[in-house]
C-alpha cells in the first residue's frame, strides 16, 4: 500500500514540476530600434540605430566621413530619438590675395628764390602696392564670410613734388625807431627801414625766454641756453646802437619767468630766478625779485634795497609773473599772484 501511494505521488507531481520550470524561463524580448534621417550633400538617408545612439553613431552607421572643418546640426555628442534629423554641413575655406593700389600724394614746395608762378617738378609720383590676404569661408558651397587676415606692403608710394616760385619784388617800408627779432638762435636788428638789417648776436643759442630792448633802444637784454650742470640759461646784454660793442655777461643764471629793463634808468634791470629740477617742467621757481646795474665795460653792481624780496603766496613750482607798474614811481613793481596784484615798492637803503 505504501509503494502504491509513493508511485502515485511521483506520477502526480512530475507534471507540476515541468509546468513550474516552464514558467521560470526568461521571455524572449527584441532590442529597441530608432530611425534617424541623415541629410548630407543635399541627399537624405535613413539609418536604423539602437535606442540611445548619438549623432556620431548615426554618421558611422551611414558611412559618413567628416572633413576637419565640417560640422553637424545637432552636435556629434547629441543623443537621438526616433525620427530625429541630422544635418551635415560641409565647410571649407579659401585664401585669396588681392592687390590694392596706394595713390601717391602731391606736395608743393614754395621757393622764394624763383619768380612767382614759375614751377618745376622735383619728383614724379608713383603709386604704391599693397597685397591683402583674404580668408573666405563656404558652407555647403555658399560663401558665409570673407575677412582680411594679412596685409603686406609690396611697394611704398612715392610722393609727387612740385616746386613753385613765390618770389616777389621786395619793397622796404619805413619803421619808427629800432626793431629787434630772433631767428634760429641769433639776434637781428632793423632800424629806420625794413630793407636794412644787421646781426648783433651770432652765437646761435638764444632761447627766447628773455628778449627785450632797453627803453632807449640802445641795448638788448637776452638769455642764452647753457649746457653746464644745474644751469638752464644765462643772462646777457649787448649794445645794438650804431656803435658796436661786446656782449656783457651779467653773471645771472636760470632766468625763466622774468627779466626786464627798469624804466627811466640807465643799464638797470630787474629779474627773477629758478632752481633746475629733474622733474617737469625742469625747474622750481624761487619767486624772488632782484635788481642790478652794469656798465658797458662789464662792471656789475647790485641795486641797494633790491635783494631778498620773496613772494610766498605765488605758486612755487610755476613762479610769479612780474611787470612794471605803469602808474607808480620808478621803483614800483607788480607781482602777479593768482588773482591778485601785489605792489612792490622797495625803499632805497641809506649807504
Confidence of residue 11 (pLDDT cuts 50, 70, 90): very low
Listed range (29-43, 121-135, 237-251, 319-333) with the worst mean pLDDT: 319-333
Q: Quick one: average pLDDT of 99-125?
A: 90
Strand order through the sheet with 160-167: 106-115, 160-167, 119-123
How many percent of the chain have pLDDT more than 90? 53
Task: Considering only residues 126 and 169, tell me which one the structure prediction assigns the higher pLDDT.
Answer: 126
Q: Quick one: average pLDDT of 338-344?
A: 44
Give yes or no for residue 8 having a pLDDT over 70: no
Looking at residue 333, what is its pLDDT?
Answer: 54
Alpha carbon distance 259, 162 (integer Å): 46
Alpha carbon distance 75, 54 (integer Å): 9
Domains and CATH numbers, the chain: 33-89 (3.10.20.90), 93-167 (2.20.230.10), 174-344 (2.140.10.30)
Q: Quick one: average pLDDT of 113-118?
A: 83
Global pTM reads 0.49
Looking at residue 20, what is its pLDDT?
Answer: 53
Alpha carbon distance 254, 73 (integer Å): 78
Q: 279-297: per-residue pLDDT in tens?
A: 888 888 888 888 899 998 8
Looking at residue 30, what is its pLDDT?
Answer: 53
Alpha carbon distance 172, 193 (integer Å): 6
Query: Which spans in the chain are helix H?
Result: 2-24, 55-62
> The cell 529597441 sits on which residue?
32
Looking at residue 325, what is its pLDDT?
Answer: 67
Question: What are the counts of helices (DSSP H) followed by strands (DSSP E) for the chain?
Answer: 2, 26
Listed range (48-52, 112-116, 160-164) with the worst mean pLDDT: 112-116
Confidence of residue 348 (pLDDT cuts 50, 70, 90): very low
DSSP summary character for residue 105: P
Q: Quick one: average pLDDT of 72-84?
A: 93
DSSP bridge partners of 78: none
Task: Considering only residues 313 and 135, tell me which one the structure prediction assigns the higher pLDDT.
Answer: 135
**C-alpha pair distances (Å), 137 with each of 19, 73, 203, 305:** 71, 18, 68, 87
**C-alpha pair distances (Å), 189 with each of 62, 175, 180, 200, 346:** 99, 12, 4, 7, 35
Alpha carbon distance 282, 14 (integer Å): 120
Give yes or no for residue 36 having a pLDDT over 60: yes
How, if at all, do strands 268-272 and 288-294 pair? antiparallel
In what helix (H) or strand (E) does residue 177 lie, and over which residues does it extend? strand 174-183
> The cell 608710394 sits on which residue?
157
Give yes or no for residue 221 having a pLDDT over 90: yes
**C-alpha pair distances (Å), 35 with each of 41, 133, 226, 317:** 20, 46, 93, 86
Looking at residue 303, what is its pLDDT?
Answer: 63
**C-alpha pair distances (Å), 79 with each of 63, 64, 76:** 18, 17, 9
Q: 239-253: per-residue pLDDT in tens?
A: 998 777 899 999 999
Alpha carbon distance 337, 324 (integer Å): 15
Range picked from 29-38, 119-128, 239-248 for highest mean pLDDT: 119-128
The average confidence (pLDDT) of the chain is 82
> The cell 612740385 sits on which residue?
162
Give yes or no for residue 351 having a pLDDT over 50: no
Give yes or no for residue 12 having a pLDDT over 70: no
Alpha carbon distance 280, 259 (integer Å): 22
- Which grid cell is 31? 532590442
DSSP summary character for residue 262: P
Task: Considering only residues 176 and 91, tell me which one the structure prediction assigns the higher pLDDT.
Answer: 91
- Which grid cell is 151? 596685409
**C-alpha pair distances (Å), 336 with each of 39, 166, 254, 263, 282:** 87, 45, 20, 19, 21
Q: Quick one: average pLDDT of 164-191?
A: 86
Amino acid at each position: 500500500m505504501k509503494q502504491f501511494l509513493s508511485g502515485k505521488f511521483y506520477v502526480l507531481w512530475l507534471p507540476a514540476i515541468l509546468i513550474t520550470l516552464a514558467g521560470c524561463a526568461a521571455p524572449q524580448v527584441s532590442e529597441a530600434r530608432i530611425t534617424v534621417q541623415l541629410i548630407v550633400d543635399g541627399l537624405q538617408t535613413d539609418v536604423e540605430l539602437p535606442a540611445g545612439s548619438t549623432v556620431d553613431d548615426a554618421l558611422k552607421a551611414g558611412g559618413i566621413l567628416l572633413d576637419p572643418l565640417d560640422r553637424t546640426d545637432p552636435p556629434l555628442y547629441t543623443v537621438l530619438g526616433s525620427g530625429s534629423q541630422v544635418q551635415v554641413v560641409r565647410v571649407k575655406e579659401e585664401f585669396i590675395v588681392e592687390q590694392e593700389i596706394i595713390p601717391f600724394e602731391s606736395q608743393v614746395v614754395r621757393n622764394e628764390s624763383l619768380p612767382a608762378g614759375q614751377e618745376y617738378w622735383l619728383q614724379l609720383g608713383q603709386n604704391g602696392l599693397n597685397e591683402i590676404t583674404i580668408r573666405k569661408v563656404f558652407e555647403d558651397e555658399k560663401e558665409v564670410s570673407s575677412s582680411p587676415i594679412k596685409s603686406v606692403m609690396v611697394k611704398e608710394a612715392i610722393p609727387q613734388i612740385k616746386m613753385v616760385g613765390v618770389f616777389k619784388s621786395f619793397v622796404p617800408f619805413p619803421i619808427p625807431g629800432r626793431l629787434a627779432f630772433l631767428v634760429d638762435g641769433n639776434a637781428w636788428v632793423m632800424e629806420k627801414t625794413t630793407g636794412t638789417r644787421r646781426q648783433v648776436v651770432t652765437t646761435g643759442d638764444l632761447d627766447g625766454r628773455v628778449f627785450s630792448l632797453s627803453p632807449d633802444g640802445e641795448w638788448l637784454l637776452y638769455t642764452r641756453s647753457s649746457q653746464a650742470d644745474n644751469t638752464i640759461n644765462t643772462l646777457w646784454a649787448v649794445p645794438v646802437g650804431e656803435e658796436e660793442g661786446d656782449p656783457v655777461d651779467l653773471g645771472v643764471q636760470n632766468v625763466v619767468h622774468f627779466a626786464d629793463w627798469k624804466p627811466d634808468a640807465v643799464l638797470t634791470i630787474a629779474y627773477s630766478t629758478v632752481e633746475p629740477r629733474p622733474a617737469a617742467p625742469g625747474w622750481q621757481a624761487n619767486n624772488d625779485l632782484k635788481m642790478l646795474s652794469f656798465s658797458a665795460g662789464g662792471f656789475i653792481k647790485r641795486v641797494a634795497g633790491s635783494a631778498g624780496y620773496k613772494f610766498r603766496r605765488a605758486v612755487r613750482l610755476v613762479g610769479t609773473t612780474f611787470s612794471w607798474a605803469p602808474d607808480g614811481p620808478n621803483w614800483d613793481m607788480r607781482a602777479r599772484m593768482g588773482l591778485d596784484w601785489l605792489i612792490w615798492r622797495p625803499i632805497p637803503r641809506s649807504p
